[in-house]
A and B are shown apart, each in its own frame.
Chain A
Amino acid sequence: MLKNKKKILVIGAAGGLARILSGLLSKDMPDCEIIGVDSRDLNDLPKKSNITYHQMRYTRGNFEKIFRDNEFYAVYHLARMSHAHSNKTSLTQRLDLNIMGTSRILELCLKFEVRKVLILSTYHVYGALSDNPTFIKEDAPLRASIKHPELRDVTEMDQLATNWMWKNQHKIETIVLRPCSIVGPQIKNSMSQYLTTSYVPVGIDFNPMFQFIHEFDMANILARCLDEVPTGIYNVAPDEVISIREAKKTVGIPFFSFPIMALSPLASTFKKLWNFPDYLLEYIKFGCIIDNSEIKKHLKDDALRFTTKEALELLKLR
């Protein structure tokens, strides 16, 4: 797959997706050296001969040293701080890490002449609104923070990355991926938690459509983007869609039906029982279906190994 590419940096290496990606890159490119960086504990990560891990904050000075000491061919930025375990009080921290951190990573990539940067954003940037068209394209406005200002970091990080991408397109190849809900046994995002938690409410008044991609398929697409996808913004999603109620039924974990419109006032109480950010209530009310045609121009149809049904059924393994 890759012959002359010596070193690849994976930022956010302790995350479930980064873990699978590092494994895939290590297997597909045995001659390559993969360096994983994360501020979280890295002891549980799988040990491979061509993977090394460094525990550090990527906003600190020694992060630059990694760039100075290694001539990276590519950098994967998978370190966006999720809202899954956060609340409004940590908005400042998220803004700092997601926006200032991303800005710093991009500066370093340019300074140390990295050939390719791959940034993982999310479909949440489009926002879940009642007037969303189905199959939102990459050039659609990012409206996530209209209703929920706490999503500002997500949209600003995406915009920062895309503006930087076009500005520096002649110097560095940059790919911004906006995947749909990634689910899998190793992923701990809000949607996976919602799907695998027993006795959580599922709307009787709203039943939006969803796209789910299995964590392995997402990691595989990230790996393939290195060689097969040029500079640009890409939505990543399967062709299949499923309503949230059907998805919950497919996972096979008991739930109760409840009007979502009555849930918002109760959200603070429910948050104590299960970690579900306020903004995600909008996503279980209104659909946000993304158009995958751009990435399909570059990746073949066999990009996905798991169907939506299989991806959801595999969640039971958690």
Chain B
Amino acid sequence: MKTREKKAPLNTRQKRSKDLGKVYPLPIYALNYYNLLHMLDKLKKSISLKTSSEEKKKFDQVFSKLFDQYGKSEDPWGLNIHKAKKSIEYVWPLYNNYFKVRVFGKENVEDTPYMIISNHTGQIAIDGMLISTAFAMDVDPPRILRAMVERFFTGLPFIGAWAAEGGAVLGDRQNCVKLLERNQSVLIFPEGVKGIAKSTPDYYKVQSFTRGFFRIALSSKAPILPVAVVGAEETFPYVYQAKGLAKLLGLPALPISPNYFPLPSPIDIYIGKPYEIPEGLSADSPDKDIDKHIFELENIVQTMINDGLKKRREFWGNVKK
């Protein structure tokens, strides 16, 4: 005769594992505290926002070179190498694990200051952050790019100060000239706000470049290094730019999107060959003489983007084939 066994009461861990095994309808599943924790844990593991000891060693190696190059005190634009290192340590897991950035064309970069120009993508200028991280961590010799930022940006509390400590400077001709004179590489988005504030149908279409950067390059003789970023548009795959409303509210852009947090779209950064500054032109040359070089640079960046789109990785949010 079978004796009926009395079940011992379950402890917390057993309860949790039992709960995990059950298949609940989605709303009940989401409401289950332990399952929710399990989901978040899985997501965290898949993204892995922690830096390994090898990566920490890499930071130390890179920044020992950068400390020698930039000095340990702050520079006149507010760059603080200690804080830049901390920022890159925070950005690195996003760069490496979240956006899974790949850098192509590293061999095109030499040990000389460049004026780096790139297409502007991704609605919230994460492209600048990722290009800067690439040139600090993945390009040899490492360098802190001095990203030229919009005027409204420097007036933002917290963000403006954080960006300045990491190397960003006000996008001003005088700042750009002075930095190039000091042998520093600058990062410019010649499309300006209209590059970043695009609606979905315009993704990966290079907007017309302004002429200012080319005139500075002519006066400083710094070679121009074209860069293309592919994949950042899909961090916000479906966007409508409410331009009229933005103008009414006095905002530089007003994106309307189903997501306001960037999605983990894989991003590729392509570094092109340096564009040598033409002889016989000066910073005061007429627009018509300068424009043909501007169009050429626009074409170079557009071609790099088109080639990059053919090789990009699969992501469900990819909107342009």
Contact = CB atoms under 8 A, between A and B. Distances in A.
B154 interface: yes
B155 A134 contact: no
Contacts of A134: 76-77, 169-170, 174-175, 178
A112 interface: no
A287 B78 contact: yes
A259 interface: yes
B172 A131 contact: yes
A59 interface: no
A209 B78 contact: yes
Interface in B98-142: none
Given A133-B170, A241-B75, A243-B80, A261 B160 contact: no
B76 A289 contact: yes
B151 interface: yes
Given A131-B170, A133-B174, A134-B169, A209 B154 contact: no
A246 B76 CA distance: 13
B165 interface: yes
Residue of A204, A206, A289 ringed by the most chain B CB atoms within 10 A? A206
A261 B158 CA distance: 10
A242 B174 contact: no
Contact of B157 (A241, A243, A261, A287): A261
A130 B77 contact: no
A228 interface: no
Nearest to A289: B76
B175 to A, nearest CB: 5
Interface in A246-303: 246, 259-261, 286-287, 289
Contacts of B164: 207
Dominant secondary structure at the B interface: mixed
A260 B157 CA distance: 8
B41 interface: no
B169 to A, nearest CB: 7
Given A205-B161, A206-B161, A131 B77 contact: no
A135 B76 CA distance: 8
Nearest to A262: B157
Contacts of B151: 130-131
18 contacts: A130-B152, A130-B155, A131-B170, A133-B170, A133-B173, A133-B175, A134-B169, A134-B174, A134-B175, A135-B76, A135-B174, A205-B157, A205-B161, A207-B161, A241-B74, A241-B75, A246-B74, A286-B155
Interface of A: 130-135, 203-209, 241-243, 246, 259-261, 286-287, 289
Interface of B: 73-78, 80, 151-152, 154-155, 157-158, 160-161, 164-165, 169-170, 172-175, 178
Given A130-B152, A241-B75, 10 more contacts: A130-B154, A130-B170, A135-B174, A206-B160, A209-B74, A259-B157, A260-B157, A286-B154, A286-B155, A287-B78
